[in-house]
Amino acid sequence: MDQLHAQQVLILDYGSQYTQLIARRVRELGVYCQIKPGQWAAESISDLAPQAIILSGGPDSVLADGSPRIPAIVFELGVPVLGICYGMQAMMQALGGEVIREGTPEYGPAQVNVLEGGGLLDGVSKELDVWMSHGDQVSKLADGFVTLAANEGTPHAAVGDIKRQYYGIQFHPEVTHTKEGGQILSHFLFDIAKLSKNWQTDRIIEQQIELIRKKVGSDRVLVALSGGVDSAVVAALLYQAIGDQLTCLFVDTGLLRYQEREQVESVFKEHFGMDLHVEDAGDAFFNALAGVNDPEEKRRIIGHEFIRVFDDAVKHLGADIPWLAQGTIYPDVIESAAESGHSEVIKSHHNVGGLPDDMPFELVEPIRELFKDEVRKMGLALGLPKSLIQRHPFPGPGLAVRSLGEVTRDYAAILAKADHCFLSVLQEYDWYDKVSQAFAVFMPVKAVGVKGDARHYGYVIALRAVTTIDFMTADWAPLPVELLQEASHRIIAEVPEVARVVYDITSKPPGTIEWE
Ligand code: XMP
């Protein structure tokens, strides 16, 4: 096993919406971990040989028939185990304790009293602010366990078998509302499981560079830049590993953000000096989209056109590129509980801009073990500009799904300018990083306004800004009135085709984040 992965934590996923957050917290503390389904096979678990195991929460009740159980192997490996919420209850049940459904479910912020540190809660506040989310609770401890924390409604809020190093917590240490959650996880990893920190950006970069060199030798590698973070980081990493063996391809669909192509050229070609090919395909995309109003049809056409343009461009780059580097990241590859049937999470349905499986390439996926925040850290360490690294996500079909109905070159240009005004104002007011996604939407209808002394009919621009953890649900952002005022002034002043600016106050659900 390589040095970086020589020590690792296994997180078994019972379907909690927070499972990925647990993994991110563990990694932020400097320890490598992997998420696997809660019912992962015993041989796989023992082959992985984790130094510690964390059992996630989940939506099931251990009292229900058919609810997921903890594989027996977990308690045969002799490693520390931390059960969180459902994970704690299922562990108690497996080891001979009891779980009941009693009283009112506890959701949201709560306080628990720490009775004993037990290694896990050493040094935390005696009255601990925590985040609870459970209906069932432990009513009788398994042999060997003591209660470490309690409150009126939850008499066993944290428990531990100090000898065997099994711990359970009813609350969620991974969410920020549990203020000392980081310290609790840190106690588990370093004081109880005796792990050391080995998961750090510079070491991950060094290791990946070595792996890439070993894998591709002196071959050429192609990377398709999208303007987004993941492909940019892959390109920067590849360039450091193999320099001129790397060729970058960027398709300008005409549906990109304001001056996005120029930014890509300035960073990759001028700053890094990479071999960058830009395919100017705007005309092809707008021609293919002419007269098309239906959003799904627009998506289909763009996906199809993208593959066609990409294929053509690859042919021109020469036949001797055997490798394609892709920006697949960890959330795309987690063998989630959803696939083993225990999660309520709905997977994203979007894959426009993806490439078909039958391309004549072998794949290099150097960031497939990383979460988005780790990818961003890596990008900064590799010298990519912060403005690119901190960018909000942008959909594959680009401005086409933000210009309602038929999208034309003119509409896309108006939208790109209005969007740029809005995002610039968000930056000025320090709100860009506080929202998860923000953009303008173009409506091809005309409203009346007054310019000078004359009536003026112009288009309508809607502004959308949302906060979200996972993009599955989202809240509209309560932007300051002055910011909205400034955004409206700037758009009307700088984009003469626009007469009205409105702000979208629809959450998801019932709305979606995009308008189409
Ligand atoms: P919705 O609109 O479904 O968006 O609430 C959720 C997230 O997905 C992005 N999105 C897309 N991404 N191709 C993509 O690559 C698409 O067709 C697409 N549609 C929506 C959206 O920007 C948001 O981040």
Record the tokens describing residue 180, joined without a space.
């000392």
Q: Is 270 a catalytic residue?
A: no
pLDDT at site 65: 94
Q: Are residues 97 and 214 in the same domain?
A: no
pLDDT over 80 at 97, yes or no:
yes
Q: Are residues 494 and 418 in the same domain?
A: yes
Ligand 1 atom closest to Cα of 352? 13
Task: Give me the DSSP letters along 292-326.
Answer: ---HHHHHHHHHHHHHHHHHHHHHHH-S---EEE-
CATH code of 282's domain:
3.40.50.620
pLDDT in tens, 272-288: 999 999 999 999 999 99
275, part of any domain: yes
* Cα 395 to middle of ligand 1, angstroms: 5
Cis amide bond preceding 360, omega within 30? no
pLDDT over 50 at 337, yes or no:
no
43: exposed, middle or buried (Cβ count in 10 Å: 0-12, 13-18, 19+): exposed
DSSP state of 356: -
Q: Are residues 180 and 229 in the same domain?
A: no
Distance CA 269, CA 427 (A): 26
Q: Are residues 125 and 242 in the same domain?
A: no
Q: Which of 165, 192, 219 is the last residue of a domain?
A: 192
pLDDT in tens, 415-435: 999 999 999 999 999 999 999
* Cα 470 to middle of ligand 1, angstroms: 12
Give the ranges where 353-458 is alpha helix by DSSP (H): 372-381, 386-389, 409-428
CATH code of 498's domain:
3.30.300.10
Q: What is the mean pLDDT of residues 337-342?
A: 47
Q: Which of 192, 224, 257 is the last residue of a domain?
A: 192
Question: Average pLDDT over the chain, rounded to whole?
Answer: 93
Q: Are residues 379 and 459 in the same domain?
A: no
123 falls in which pLDDT band (50, 70, 90)? very high
511, part of any domain: no
Question: For the chain, what percent of residues have pLDDT higher than 70?
Answer: 95
Whether the CB-CB separation of 122 and 191 falls below 8 Å is answered with: yes
pLDDT in tens, 500-513: 999 999 999 999 99
Ligand 1 pocket test, candidate residues 471, 506, 515, most atoms within 8 A of CB: 471
227, part of any domain: yes
Nearest one of 99, 79, 102 to 90, comparing CA atoms? 99
User: Where in the sequence is the domain holding 482, given as residue range(s)?
Assistant: 411-503
Distance of CA 227 to the CA centre of its chain: 17
Q: Are residues 335 and 272 in the same domain?
A: yes
Whether the CB-CB separation of 258 and 294 falls below 8 Å is answered with: no
Q: Are residues 266 and 233 in the same domain?
A: yes
Entry pTM: 0.89
Q: What is the mean pLDDT of residues 244-254?
A: 97
pLDDT at site 1: 62
* Cα 104 to middle of ligand 1, angstroms: 37
498, part of any domain: yes
Backbone angles phi, psi at 508, to 5 degrees: -120, 120
pLDDT over 60 at 353, yes or no:
no
pLDDT in tens, 132-159: 988 899 999 999 999 999 999 899 999 9
pLDDT at site 335: 58
pLDDT over 70 at 339, yes or no:
no
pLDDT over 80 at 115, yes or no:
yes
Provide the 10 A C-beta neighbour count for residue 246.
28
Q: Is 174 a catalytic residue?
A: yes
515, part of any domain: no
Ligand 1 pocket test, candidate residues 289, 350, 391, 475, most atoms within 8 A of CB: 350
Q: Are residues 234 and 359 in the same domain?
A: yes
80, part of any domain: yes
Task: Give me the DSSP letters along 422-439.
Answer: HHHHHHHTT-GGGSSEEE
Q: Are residues 212 and 158 in the same domain?
A: no
pLDDT at site 354: 62
Distance CA 309, CA 323 (A): 18
pLDDT at site 359: 78
| Residues framing ligand 1 (Cβ under 6 A) | 299, 350, 352-353, 393, 395-397, 401, 437, 471, 508, 512-514
Q: Which of 330, 359, 389 is the last residue of a domain?
A: 389
**Residues linked to residue 480 through DSSP beta bridges, in sequence order:** none
pLDDT in tens, 361-404: 999 999 999 999 999 999 999 999 999 999 999 999 999 999 99
Q: What is the mean pLDDT of residues 100-112?
A: 87
pLDDT in tens, 429-484: 999 999 999 999 999 999 998 878 888 899 999 999 999 988 888 999 999 999 99
CATH code of 102's domain:
3.40.50.880
pLDDT over 50 at 344, yes or no:
no
Q: Are residues 223 and 304 in the same domain?
A: yes
257, part of any domain: yes
pLDDT at site 350: 41
Give the ranges where 54-136 is alpha helix by DSSP (H): 86-95
Distance CA 78, CA 55 (A): 15
Whether the CB-CB separation of 77 and 10 falls below 8 Å is answered with: no
pLDDT at site 319: 79
pLDDT at site 197: 95
pLDDT at site 393: 94
Ligand 1: residue whose CA is nearest its atom 14? 395
pLDDT in tens, 200-229: 999 999 999 999 999 999 999 999 999 999
Q: Are residues 234 and 383 in the same domain?
A: yes
Q: Which H or E element spans position 87? A: helix 86-95
Q: Are residues 440 and 377 in the same domain?
A: no
Domain count, the chain: 3
Residue type, 207: Q
Q: Is 172 a catalytic residue?
A: yes
* Cα 226 to middle of ligand 1, angstroms: 15
55 falls in which pLDDT band (50, 70, 90)? very high
* Cα 391 to middle of ligand 1, angstroms: 15
Instruction: Write down the catalytic residue from 33, 134, 156, 174.
Output: 174
Is the model more confident about 104 or about 341? 104
pLDDT at site 351: 41
